[in-house]
Amino acid sequence: MVVGDFPIETDTLVLGAGPGGYVAAIRAAQLGQKVTIVEKANLGGVCLNVGCIPSKALIAAGHRYETALHSESIGITAENVKVDFSKVQEWKGSVVNKLTSGVEGLLKGNKVEIVRGEGYFVDANTIRVMDDNSAQTYTFKNAIIATGSRPIELPTFKYSNRVINSTGALNLPEIPKKLVIIGGGVIGVELGTAYANFGTEVTILEGSGELFAGAFEKQMSSIVARNLKKKGADIVTNALAKGVVENENGVVVTYEAKGEEKTVEADYVLVTVGRRPNTDEMGLDQLGIDMTERGIINIDVQCRTNIPNIYAIGDIVPGPQLAHKASYEGKIAAEAIAGHNAQIDYLGIPAVVFSDPELASVGYTEKQAKDEGIEVVGSKFPFAANGRALALDAAEGFLKLVTRKEDGLVIGAQIAGPSASDMIAELGLAIEAGMTAEDLAMTIHAHPTLGEITMEAAEVAIGSPIHIIK
């Protein structure tokens, strides 16, 4: 049935229901606005459905399998350890379903109207929402664009049954015997680690000289590379992927490294070379939204575009493409619309990789601080000197605290080690709260815990380490 096109009025319209959009909608509703959220696919966006959550479930399953096979050092061996991959996929799907249904419940509980379909802006106060059967016009006072991103497709690696993106890699029907990954960034390393733990022969082709292309300190990325190699992975840096030939059994990938052209065979080739912002085909050009050539929308400190009543958040605006960044920006935009003086400040936003071991960083690195003319002290404490890490048989890695030399103010931290993704939160809070190394050192941490490593690094920073020799 075609709905009569009488415009429906709303205060704030949110386009996209990913981790940025649904959070923005809920916060806007909490602040008294009548909110409509438009989503063409699944609530929760890429993150909940085909990104952050299912990948972490797959990583967790891979770790369980790898631990069952390799715990001889602590006196535990197992025989006939098997993987029912269809059951792994079923479990992964159940995790996703719980969260997506939870998002729907949260939106409805906050009286947010959920509209299914694709949105096309008619003007700065009007959007047309279309699905397969109908079209409906909505008028709004303010809009928040939160349409996210999609994997970049290389011209020489067109997606198919055997040439896959991250979504395809998360939904494989079986554990591949061999997998080639183009791109040694966060997504490539995380999925490569997961499948390497399941026993897949993984080859990573990275265009730069190291994993993560310099996004993390070399000492951190080298630990991850070393552990991937222990799992049997082949990491080829400074590699140029040139093409692929598919056959009935898999693929043959051609690449160039060290001036030589080589080939590698695999069941699949996974392309993880970045993500493209979803800012096309929604009428932004005719609105006159200020965008870069790559389709990134320029915003001010309140996530406002050059059109005063239209805001943008998440993967479609400058900065790292992180789900928690999108959620943060969603709150800022909703509060700005409500007249609050909220402004974005990215210093306390962490970056995390669920590799082996995990990597996490927040605030400044030593190099970034020095490049900006800030005199800093880098204070490092190893996991190998922590009782809990040793008891977990996971003592590889370190925590580095970056403090301002003049007053010990915490302005950054980097962690490579187990549970780095959880430990980084304390350091983010320390930066946001303006804490010093002394504040951290004098905070009593439970023993024995990995969290003590933060305290120990702070003690190094103030010149009184207890559990390592200065």
- Residues catalogued as catalytic: 447
Which residues touch 228 (CB under 8 Å, ≥6 apart)?
A: 189, 192, 193, 196, 202, 204, 235, 355, 356
- Does 358 carry a binding-site annotation? no
Which residues touch 52 (CB under 8 Å, ≥6 apart)?
A: 19, 323
- Does 56 carry a binding-site annotation? yes
- Does 127 carry a binding-site annotation? no
Cβ 361 vs Cβ 355: under 8 Å: no
- Does 139 carry a binding-site annotation? no
Cβ 430 vs Cβ 442: under 8 Å: no
Tally Cβ neighbours within 10 Å of residue 312: 29
Cβ 230 vs Cβ 202: under 8 Å: no
- Does 190 carry a binding-site annotation? yes
- CB neighbour class for 328 (10 Å; exposed up to 12, middle 13-18, buried from 19): buried
CA dist 159 and 335 (Å) reads 40
- Please report, for residues 14, 124, 328, the alpha-carbon distance to residue 131 in angstroms, rounded to integers and kept in the order given: 17, 21, 30
- CB neighbour class for 30 (10 Å; exposed up to 12, middle 13-18, buried from 19): middle
- Does 147 carry a binding-site annotation? yes
Sequence-ordered strand ranges (E) for 287-382: 310-312, 351-353, 359-363, 376-382
- Does 184 carry a binding-site annotation? yes
- Does 148 carry a binding-site annotation? yes
- Does 183 carry a binding-site annotation? yes
- Does 109 carry a binding-site annotation? no
Cβ 47 vs Cβ 178: under 8 Å: no
CA dist 162 and 21 (Å) reads 32
- Does 187 carry a binding-site annotation? yes
Cβ 184 vs Cβ 212: under 8 Å: yes
Cβ 365 vs Cβ 347: under 8 Å: no
Look at residues 413, 453, 396 and name the one whose alpha carbon lies nearest to residue 226.
396
The 3-state DSSP class for residue 290 equals: coil
What residues form the annotated binding site for FAD? 56, 119, 147-149, 315
What residues form the annotated binding site for NAD(+)? 183-190, 206, 274
What residues form the annotated binding site? 56, 119, 147-149, 183-190, 206, 274, 315
